[in-house]
Amino acid sequence: MNLIELIWTFVGFFLTLFVFSYIFGDNILFRFASYLLVGVSAGYLMVIIFYKVLIPKIVIPFSTGSTLQKTLVIIPLALGTLLLFKLSPRLARLGNVSMGYLVGAGAAVLVGGVIFGTLFPQTGAAVAAFGISGTTVAPGIQILGAAILLIGTITSLAYFQFGMRGKSMDKPRQSKLMIFISKVGQIFIAVTLGALFAGAMLAALTALIERLGSLWTAITLFLH
């Protein structure tokens, strides 16, 4: 191991100890590691934006592009400039145009992602799961799994639509069948959240084991 690798090993060693110091409560060492992480992340993000967005998307087209490209670059440049006025309380209104554009574009991307990335694929997967041709699984097992998938999808949607509504005097009384379907959907959602939590815990334990291994490596190098 060369000198540079040795230095970064001990830097990682001490920063890991700073993070682990949170076990004893919030302290200056943990805050230093947190602020360092935020600062490094912000600096890295700025470098990515500068070299991947500003230079290729604005600077190069505006300096060497055609007339049409230069005209099109003026639009995002003007919106970005107006967005900077949000830093001033007096001139914050000038940035509302840019904020409106960002909110509208973000909502459009979100709705499109929900429809084409979740709703349609989920519907297609629920229907395609009943296809038994070309599969190595027994037809009975395949149909059973498809039925569970379809029941989970329908009951989960029913729970969000009918089971989560607050109590109100004007709320129509639900039938026992709809209440039962919502309860089944709640079970599917609980199982899904449990699986996600288990995955998050497994990832956290993996990261913990990796950090403990790095601590052991640094201690071994220090003792030798």
List the chain domain ranges.
Answer: 1-64, 139-164+172-224
For 33-58, b/e burial (b = at least 16 CB within 10 A) is beeeeeeeeeeeeeeeeeeeeeeeee
pTM: 0.60
C-alpha to C-alpha distance for 9 and 1, rounded to whole angstroms: 10
SS3 state at 74: helix
| 214 in Cβ contact with 13 (< 8 Å) | yes
C-alpha to C-alpha distance for 48 and 41, rounded to whole angstroms: 11
Question: In a structure prediction context, what are the per-residue pLDDT tens digits for the chain, which is 224 residues long?
Answer: 577 877 888 888 888 889 888 888 889 999 999 999 999 999 999 999 999 988 988 888 888 878 888 888 888 888 888 888 888 888 888 889 899 999 999 999 999 888 888 778 877 777 777 766 666 667 777 788 788 888 888 888 888 877 655 555 455 566 788 888 888 888 999 999 999 999 999 998 998 888 888 888 878 877 76
| 129 in Cβ contact with 146 (< 8 Å) | yes
Quick one: tokens of 154? Answer: 């329908």
Q: In terms of Cα–Cα distance, which of 13, 3, 48 is closest to 33?
A: 13
SS3 state at 131: coil
Q: In terms of Cα–Cα distance, which of 15, 67, 45, 73 is closest to 215?
A: 15
DSSP state of 65: S
C-alpha to C-alpha distance for 178 and 152, rounded to whole angstroms: 14
